[in-house]
Amino acid sequence: MTTKRHEQVGLTDAQVLDMYYYMLLARKIDERQWLLNRAGKVPFVISCQGQEAAQVGAAFAMEKDRDFLCPYYRDLGLVLVFGQTARDCMLSAFAKAEDPNSGGRQMPGHFGGKKYNILTGSSPVTTQVPHAVGMALAGRMKQKDFVVYASFGEGSSNQGDFHEGANFAGVHKLPVIFFCENNKYAISVPLNKQLACESVADRAIGYGFPGISVDGNDPIEVYRVMKEAVERARSGQGPTLIEAVMYRLVPHSSDDDDRVYRTREEVEEAKKKDPLIVFAAYLREIGLLDEHKEADMLARVQLEVDEATEYAENAPYPTPESTMTYVYGE
């Protein structure tokens, strides 16, 4: 029997099966949204495919009733663990009135919701980083014991928002985790044209806290690194920068043609390390997953996605008069 790596980092058999469920659910929601987009039923998709392992691994290391998320637009796996459902995601994709993120006002991927401890995001990239730092400062001032998680792509690590937020958090030793999902491309700009240093994690030393690079295709390893960062933050030792290295398996968005900036051979090679395939193989190897269990889980997920799609497609749109609600004091 192969060593159960997950037990060495404190995860149970049930937890790693749940991890796989959330990774699979995120993937199947995402795939359905692409089909709906190509059918002309939803306007836009910004995908999580290839990044689910890092998101789910990180989410499992936090306490969803206590900690706060400031996610970026690809973080579907993360927000599912924190309580959003397939139905919530589909309502957002269809821009329906019941969309919990914004009532149909925001484009997909702009996650939010007070009941989920998720700060509402906006379209300019990296604005969530200083917001996360501000939340952590507020928590300290109010003597609250929570950790704030801010995720972003490696392209965002070049923005002033990241550097200002990291510097302030480092000086004040705030309980923030900066989680970079390095998927190798800032839309069409490859990593070697974004950074002069070896990795995003190298930047942490300039702000006085640890920077760690981790295999973003391995949810167990991400969990381990993230758990250590959470414990550091809770004990008053300050922030950590985690760089989860992965690959974006699909175009930047449904409006992007990635064939103009990367080869099909490169993408096909990356698909061999698809985190769902790799993690399922690990679970089979240690005897937690077999054909029957895998089929049952896939059927469960497909039913969730089907029911969510049908509900959202038939749900009402926001009324025209609701446009001004929350804008002019109504």
Q: Where are the alpha helices (DSSP H) in the chain?
A: 5-8, 13-38, 52-60, 76-81, 86-93, 128-141, 160-172, 219-234, 264-271, 275-285, 291-314
Cβ neighbours of residue 127 under 8 Å, at least 6 residues apart? 121, 161
Q: Is residue 186 a contact partner of residue 152, using CB atoms and an 8 Å limit?
A: no
Looking up tokens 């949204």 gives: 33
Q: Which of 239, 170, 157 is nearest to 200 (CA)?
A: 157
Residue 289 phi, psi (nearest 5): -130, 130
Tell me the pairing of strands 176-182 and 148-153: parallel
The catalytic residue positions are 248, 252, 261
Count of residues in the chain: 330
End-to-end CA distance of the chain: 62
Strand partners, 213: 243
Alpha-carbon separation of residue 296 from 13, 26, 28, 70, 106 (angstroms) = 17, 17, 14, 33, 34
Alpha-carbon separation of residue 187 from 14, 74, 93, 255 (angstroms) = 36, 13, 21, 11
The C-alpha atoms of residue 68 and residue 160 are separated, in whole angstroms, by 22
212 three-state secondary structure: strand
246 three-state secondary structure: coil
